[in-house]
Amino acid sequence: MAKRLSIVNGPSKWDIILALFDTTEDLDPSRVRQNGRLVILEIADEEGKNWKGEIHIDAVKKNQDFGFQDSDWKLEGHYVFPRLSPLGEKFIVWRPFIALFNTQTRKGWLEPVKES
């Protein structure tokens, strides 16, 4: 099982809506089109240190499991995972995730998904 990270300050419901439906419209074909907005959230690691992360949200589903509230959502997408190359150069890798998130408390968890 992958390491589950705590979301301590996540996006608002409006930020999630914009991430899904507000894509960058660019009429210049020489530029790469963005598929949605980045969403910033704050994650707490195992040592209690908070850091900001960036995610792309690909899907949102209402969490209807027993005992959950109307503001609980299941999210799927990709998060930024900074890496260093063998030469010490920084580069970014996008990794898939699943998350359970409450838009009222702005708390939840994010779990990386193993790529097949």
Cα–Cα distance for residue pair 79/77, rounded to 1 Å: 7
Show the CA angle centred on residue 6, arms to residues 70 and 81, nearest 5°.
115
**Tokens linked to 83:** 């890496």
pTM for the full model? Answer: 0.75
Q: Mean pLDDT throughout 26-39?
A: 60
Of 8-17, 25-34, 44-53, 65-74, highest mean pLDDT: 8-17
